[in-house]
Chain A
Amino acid sequence: MIELKNVTKYFKTEGEKKYILKNVTLTIPSHVNLGILGRNGAGKSTLLRMLGGIDFPTVGTISSPNTFSWPMGLSGGFQGSMTGRQNVKFVCRIYGKTVKEINEVIEFVQEFAEIGHYFDMPIKFYSSGMKSRLSFGLSLAFDFDYLIIDETLSVGDENFKKKAKKALMKKIENSNVLLVSHSMSDLRNICDAGILIDDGKIFYYEDIEDAINAYHGINASLPMGQNNAPSSSAILCSDGKNFDTINIAANFYKVRPMSIVQALNENNGSNIYLKKVFWRDGQNKLPFQTWQNTIEKETIISSDGVIFVNALEASLFYMDRIPKANIDKMHVEEVMNKEDGISKKLNVKFYYLSEYK
């Protein structure tokens, strides 16, 4: 369990305060694998360092009765002038391992990390991938309540990735993970719950899927040179209904949140699939209009309301969001050609936008 009480964290740069967290109070329940999402610079790594005990809130406290690993990131937390072996020994010693245990750990890590004779060369000669593999392998040698992983699951070749996932899954039987990753499939496979860090606030979602949706929501609402509408205002629709959030609206109309976000950001609120107009509370309602971006022959619209530049973009979109369907990047093109646009795997029908009425 992790308790954050009135946590504020800011950095002073050039006399100005840059806030990472503003007065956050939150309790993260025990036995939960947590995914941490947020835009670049939102403060994910800072949060991980605070949870790992090597950085501290400016105001407030973070407390937990559990043990945490060191934050595993691309730099690995190693001393550059020492060799891999010396670094492993050092970490073992500060955790109080006996000489026998140290030798066992060295054997295990050397074999796991697959860095060959680099193990006896100084860390400063390692690639970032090697450092990550070494750090990851080393962390597996200990039993922490929480393993803190900052985007290091994606290093290594296919074989290593498989080995790492397998080892991690085994670890999860007895430990929990705090994972920062930009791979939605990793987050879905490993994490139960998720938190989203945005603009100094932390939002906790019991289901990682909701956290991912919320993350896509803030990501998509990045303005293309327009005024950024506050994400806390209600969504209104031309059929008279209103909704608290994009997610709720999307659920109601049975489309993807991306469908509504696209309409709001790229088409002045007009959603082509639903033939309705959306706008945020406080802004002006505009009349319905057709798709204002260039409509090529390849432009595709899906039955869950999203418009894609071409079949490849559509495939990639769904590969990311429904990994269990196990499609490849040619999938949407194939179903357009052979199945009349109906994808059984995704449970979605695709149309060419130029033909859609």
Chain B
Amino acid sequence: MKKRTSFSIFLSVVSALFLREVQTRFGTKKLGYLWAVIDPMVKVIVFSLMYLAVGTKMQGIDFPVFLATSFLTYNFFSAVMNNSMPAFDANRALFSYKQVKPIDTIFSRFFIEFLVMSATVIIFICFGLYFDLNLAVKDFNLVILSIIWFGIFGLSLGILFAIINTFYETFGKIINFTSMPLFLLSGLLYTVDSLPPIARDIILYNPIVHFIEMIHGNYFSVLNTDYVDYEYMIFWTIIPLFLGLLFYARAEKKIIAS
């Protein structure tokens, strides 16, 4: 058999893992993917109705559209980050093949979640058009870039968390704990400038807020990206990625052999 480069082996393995995950998720539990659409849909409806009842209005924006941009992208990020932790265990049998390395499973989950999000976006666009909502995008390229960057941020946390979780099981539970507070504190339901100054300063410590603001600011013409701190986002992307890869390089053999 001819010798292949590391990279081509990596591509073969990630695509094999991707296809297998598509088969198992689509195949056995057909509702699996439907949930990816239903979850954000329900949230959009519920929160839109709540805000309607309270009387909050966002000038110049259809609130459901605002919520959809929040939930779809946040779910993508959150899925990448959270699904990376069980990735090693879920694929353990496949480590019998030396081409399959643990980190390949995290990358393949990233692409799966990206696929899921893309499909869900298309469905939401259809709904949006049907209900005559204002779907206008201010800067499409920057929106796409922001989403991809958001995903990479999730990936870098995912790698780091997956390794920590392998050696300290309670870590995963701690992260699960934070999911509800994070949901409320990530700027999904409101814009940063609508907050009182003290709250604003505190919430800007959450890197997720910057990503969400960046997406909102580039999507909606009435919003802007004034509060987005690109430097902060870069640190939050690169440092976990660096740490994650550093730990991974040392831990890979232990993860395979355990």
From B12-20, B46-54, B170-178, give the one contacting chain A. Answer: B12-20
For B86-127 the 0/1 string (1 means CB < 8 A from A) is 000001011111111000000000000000000000000000
Q: Chain B: which residue is nearest A72 at the CB level? A: B96
Question: A52, B94: Cβ atoms under 8 Å?
Answer: no
Kindly state whether residue A339 has any CB partner on chain B within 8 Å.
no
Q: What mask results when residues 66 to 87 of chain A are scored 1 for a CB within 8 Å of chain B, else 0? A: 0110110000011111100010
Q: A55-B256, A90-B94, A93-B16 are in contact. Are A143 and B1 (CB under 8 A)?
A: yes
Minimum CB–CB distance from A60 to chain B (whole Å) comes to: 13
Are B20's CB and A86's CB within 8 A? yes
Alpha-carbon distance A187/B152, docked complex (angstroms): 52
Distance of A345 from chain B, by nearest CB (Å): 44
Cβ contact within 8 Å between B93 and A80: yes
Tell me if A94 and B99 are in contact (CB < 8 A): yes
Selected from B15, B23, B96, the residue in CB contact (under 8 A) with A70 is: B96
A95 vs B24: C-alpha distance in the bound complex, in angstroms? 21
Say whether A243 faces chain B, with CB atoms less than 8 Å apart: no
Give which listed residue, A53, A68, A82, contacts B24 with CB less than 8 A. A82
**Interface bin, chain A:** 20 to 34
Chain B residue numbers with a CB within 8 Å of A71 are 96
- Are B97 and A94 in contact, CB atoms less than 8 angstroms apart? yes
Q: Does A125 contact B (CB under 8 A)?
A: no
- In the assembled complex, the CB of B193 is this many whole angstroms from the nearest CB of chain A, namely 48
Q: Does A96 contact B (CB under 8 A)?
A: yes
In this complex, the interface size class of chain B, counting residues with CB under 8 Å from chain A, is 20 to 34
B89 nearest CB across to chain A (Å): 12
With A67-B1, A82-B20, A142-B1 given, is the CB distance from A93 to B98 under 8 Å? no
| Minimum CB–CB distance for A250 against chain B, Å | 41
- Check B257–A94 contact: CB distance below 8 A: no
Contact B16 A94 (CB under 8 A): yes
Contact of B12 among A70, A81, A82, A93 (CB under 8 A): A93
Q: Which residues of A contact B24 (CB under 8 A)?
A: 81-82
Determine whether the beta carbon of A79 is less than 8 Å from that of B15.
no
Answer yes or no: A2 CB below 8 A from chain B CBs.
no
Q: Assess the A78–B19 pair: CB atoms within 8 A.
A: no
- Interface residue? A112 (CB, 8 A): no
Docked-complex contact A79 and B91, CB < 8 angstroms? yes
Cβ of A91 within 8 Å of any chain B Cβ, yes or no, is yes
Interface: A144 (CB within 8 A) = yes
Q: Who on chain A is nearest to B256 by CB?
A: A54
B4 within 8 A of A: yes
Cβ of B93 and Cβ of A77 under 8 Å apart?
Answer: yes
| Closest partner residue, chain B, to A65 (CB atom) | B3
Which A residues are in CB contact (< 8 Å) with B8? 96
Quick check: is A56 within 8 A (CB to CB) of the other chain? yes
Q: Give A89 to B12 CA distance when docked, in angstroms.
A: 12
Given A96-B8, A143-B1, A144-B1, does the pair A90, B96 have CB atoms closer than 8 Å? no
Across the interface, do B20 and A94 meet the contact criterion of CB distance under 8 Å?
Answer: no
Q: Find chain A residues with CB under 8 A from B98 CB.
A: 52-54, 68, 70
Interface residues, chain A, CB within 8 Å of chain B? 52-56, 67-68, 70-71, 77-82, 86, 89-91, 93-96, 142-144
16 contacts between A and B (CB under 8 A): A54-B96, A54-B97, A54-B257, A55-B256, A70-B96, A79-B94, A81-B24, A86-B20, A90-B16, A90-B20, A90-B94, A93-B19, A94-B99, A95-B12, A96-B8, A143-B1
Binding site for A on B (CB under 8 A): 1, 4, 8-9, 12-13, 15-16, 19-20, 23-24, 28, 91, 93-100, 253, 256-257
